[in-house]
Amino acid sequence: MLLFWNAKLVLLAVPKTATTALEAALLPYADAAILNPPEKKHLTARRWRNHLAPFFETKSAPMQTMAIIREPRDWLGSWYRYRARPEIMNSPSSTAGMDFASFVEAWLSDPPPEFARVGRQSRFVANAAGKVIVDHLFRYEDMAAAITFLQARLGVALALDHKNASPQVDLSLPPDLEARLQREAAADFALWARLDHAR
């Protein structure tokens, strides 16, 4: 999470949406940052609104929030690849030796096992009632729109490096599992689909 006081803007770090690269580019301009631990860095919109916003907004204009959202299947694929990395092999969080379909099935289970406990983007940006409470949402697939917004809002020129890239692997799913994913993660797919790249 990065906070820009003069711009009245907070960048919420949705996991697996280039937040590390954004932080590297934006940190010199931020007035406050939470970079570690991961559960604090990836502060949800609800936690921002309930816990930190009252502190920062005392006697000042409300801060606006922004976040990046990734196509849900691709987002899950990024998590799957990231958790297959050698340094966590044999840990409960590892997906090493597992195919993507098994990971998706685990993610859809209730509750998911440790290796598939990665949350949902639709919940990250919403309140307890499921209403989106982030002011500015951008597609990961159209990062240029997010960069344009940030440059205009902050008055700086940004160059984004690619960080934490995961190796490419086969992310195909059997048709029945693909249909189940679309059905049971409908809120995530609907959120991504409605972003118009111009917000």
The 3-class SS string of 100-140 reads: HHHHHHHHHCCCCCHHHCCCCHHHHCECCCCCECCCEEEEH
Mean pLDDT over the full length of the chain = 91
pTM confidence score: 0.90
Window from 139-143, 187-191, 192-196 with minimum mean pLDDT: 192-196
- Could you give the CA distance from residue 23 to residue 21 in angstroms, rounded to a whole number? 5
CA dist 77 to 51, 62, 147, 170, Å? 31, 35, 24, 9
CA dist 177 to 14, 63, 118, 168, 185, Å? 25, 40, 19, 21, 12
Q: What is the pLDDT of residue 60?
A: 75
Q: What is the pLDDT of residue 160?
A: 78
pLDDT digits (tens, 9 = 90+) for 155-192: 999 887 765 555 667 888 999 999 999 999 999 999 99
- Could you give the CA distance from residue 68 to residue 66 in angstroms, rounded to a whole number? 7
Phi, psi at 104, each rounded to 5°: -65, -45
Q: Is the pLDDT of residue 199 over 60?
A: no
pLDDT digits (tens, 9 = 90+) for 1-25: 999 999 999 999 999 999 889 999 9
pLDDT digits (tens, 9 = 90+) for 27-79: 999 999 998 887 788 999 999 999 999 998 877 789 999 999 999 999 999 99
